[in-house]
Amino acid sequence: MKLKYKFVVREVAGKSVAVAVGEDNRNFNGMIKLNETGEFIFKLLQGDGSSLEDICAALMKQYDIDEGTAKDAAEGFIGQLSGAGIIEE
């Protein structure tokens, strides 16, 4: 899965946010606030994207967490992005 639109991730007032750029800003006009884990997952989804398994493995390595915790975090965040219509398979 990957992001449907091109985004840039920037720090604004000490918080990470993602904003669609170029023509994609017409299709997704808004800003996504990201915590540290959300930013990590979001960056994995940019470009060619990643599978849920790849994201979970990366989360386990990055944060030294178990598979269940990684899967819960990944599925929760990806679910929010899917609900916003910005994920494609």
Q: How far is CA 65 from the centre of its chain?
A: 18
Structural contact between residues 87 and 81, judged by C-beta atoms closer than 8 angstroms: yes
pLDDT at 7: 96
Number of domains observed in the structure of the chain: 1
Share of the chain above pLDDT 70, in %: 100
What is the residue range of 59's domain?
A: 2-88
Sheet containing strand 7-12, edge to edge, reads 7-12, 15-20, 31-34
pTM: 0.90
Q: What is the pLDDT of residues 45-85, one digit of tens each?
A: 998 889 999 999 999 999 999 999 999 999 999 999 999 99
Which comes out higher in pLDDT, residue 5 or 47? Answer: 5
CB 59 within 8 A of CB 65: yes
Do residues 41 and 82 lie in contact, with contact meaning Cβ atoms separated by under 8 Å? no
Structure tokens at 65: 């967490």
